[in-house]
Amino acid sequence: MKFAKRMDQFGEGVFSRLADMRKARVAAGKTVIDLSIGAPNIPPAKHIMEAMAREVMKPSNYVYAITDTMAMLEAVAAWYKRRYGVDLDPEREICSLIGSQDGLAHIALSILDPGDVMLVPDPCYPIFADGPKLAGAELYYMPQKKEHDYVIQLKDIPEEIARRAKLMLVSYPNNPTAAMAPKEFYTELIAFAKKYDIIVIHDNAYSELVFDGRSWGSFLELPGARDVGVEFNSLSKTYGLAGARIGYCLGNSKVVSMLKTLKSNIDYGVFLPVQAAAIAAITGDQSVVETTRKAYERRRDVLCDGLIEAGWQMDKPPGTMFVWAPIPEKYDSSEKFVKDLLDKTGVLVTPGSAFGPSGEGYVRMALVQSEEDMQKAVDSVKASGIF
């Protein structure tokens, strides 16, 4: 059998390797507190699940969805107007996704030809780079450095790279660093994109998961943003619909239209009961958003305060569902540290090397366990003496 050369770029995914490590430890009769995969464990509110359950029982809903329902598109437009103050044309400027991962994996295919340059953050969520690789793009990594609070420095992008670039992706609040960029960054970003004729994708999956009284908005709020690009948003974390798989691409009508055309050739739309659940989520009682935010903030405090007390120096994240922490100086490999941490404490985290060249020297911890399990993780680290 012969396979595509493009697969040479893709080894076994880091999360598969971590899952194997977890299974081996469990098989040996040992416990694992898994903070590796950012899989939300807070379920949807009852009214959201009930809306989906009602629609699941209707035989007529088992047809191909093909296109988004107008009811959902109008609900999404109303959500963006209410939450962010952004007016969107439901038919021209909104496209559903089978989760943001689907859109991030495919949108590059609608914009990039083989050899085109795409600018991606470094470190970054793996699909940010893997989607463009599928399209045959040449990647240029934009460093997110601690000395700049993990905010991309657009002025450091070489002129020849900027002129060749066709597409760029940014994401704040950021996965994995949890950084939040100032408004000035977005003003500079829009000017940069206009100057070099670059399409911008802004991933805004964590706009509701910001802590300590902070707030966050939308890229599309800024003047000129819609001229240069689109925003991705997701209901996975905010409303607990991670497994139901629904998100949105919103903004520039040309970009949205091209993505719709591509998707019309590769999928049959979002399952109608999931669209109904999405409507219930974004039009229903929004107190569930604050409840979810507070849950993640409390988990962050238990984990970070405890680990700092144990001797692990790190910054408490201002948002997202992740903690980005440096590994001890005695380690020169984040993967080696992850293995030792699991062996000595039973706590499983993700090596920073999985997130790009600048990720080495760090690990990412996901706030996806209960406060009780977070405390168990802290206690185990303290008892291990690893710090």
CATH number of the domain to which 377 belongs: 3.90.1150.10
Domain C-terminal end among 240, 260, 283 = 283
pLDDT at 322: 98
The CATH code of the domain that includes 132 is 3.40.640.10
pTM of the shown model: 0.95
Shared domain check, 15 and 110? no
Domain that holds residue 192: 46-283
pLDDT level of residue 10 (50, 70, 90 thresholds): confident
For residue 115, pLDDT beyond 90? yes
Q: How far is CA 132 from CA 113, 119, 258, 319, in A?
A: 10, 10, 16, 27
359 plus 272 within the same structural domain = no
Same domain, 209 and 271: yes
DSSP codes joined into one string, 355-384: G-GGGTTEEEEE--S-HHHHHHHHHHHHHH
In which order are the strands placed within the sheet that holds 350-351? Answer: 322-326, 362-366, 350-351
Nearest to 154 by CA among 173, 168, 139, 175: 168
Q: Are residues 170 and 243 in the same domain?
A: yes
Whether 109 and 239 map to the same domain: the answer is yes
| Element holding 57 (H helix, E strand) | none
Asked if 191 and 301 sit in the same domain, the reply is no
- Nearest Cα neighbor of 98 from 244, 246, 310, 219 is 246
Phi, psi of 265 (to 5 degrees): -100, -10
Whether the bond between 173 and the residue before it is cis, its omega within 30 degrees of 0, is yes
pLDDT above 90: residue 379:
yes
- H or E segment and range at residue 194: helix 183-196
How far, in Å, are 47, 309, 380 from residue 373 at the CA level?
28, 17, 10
Mean predicted confidence (pLDDT) in 274-297: 98
CA-CA distance, 107 to 104, in Å (whole number)?
6
User: Which of 220, 254, 283 corresponds to the end of one domain?
Assistant: 283
- Are 365 and 130 in contact, with CB atoms under 8 Å apart? no
C-beta of residue 162 within 8 angstroms of C-beta of residue 153: no
Same domain, 242 and 100: yes
Domains held by the chain: number = 2
In this predicted structure, what is the pLDDT of residue 17?
85
138 and 237 part of one domain: yes
Q: Does residue 9 sit in the same domain as residue 56?
A: no
Regarding whether 173 and 266 lie in a shared domain, the answer is yes
Residues whose CB falls within 8 Å of the CB of residue 44, separated by 6 or more in sequence, listed in order: 239, 240, 241, 244, 277, 281, 288
**Domain endpoint, select from 263, 283, 303:** 283
Q: What is the DSSP letter of 64?
A: -
Same-domain check for residues 199 and 317: no
Q: Under 8 Å CB-to-CB from 53, ≥6 apart: which residues?
A: none
The 10s digit of each residue's pLDDT in 339-369 is 999 999 999 999 999 999 999 999 999 999 9
Q: What is the 3-state secondary structure (H, E, C) of 273-316?
A: HHHHHHHHHHHCCCHHHHHHHHHHHHHHHHHHHHHHHCCCCCCC
Assign 15 a pLDDT band (cuts: 50, 70, 90). Answer: confident
- 148 and 93 in one domain? yes
> How high is the pLDDT of residue 355?
95
Query: In angstroms, rounded to a whole number, what is the distance separating the alpha carbons of residues 220 and 214?
Result: 19
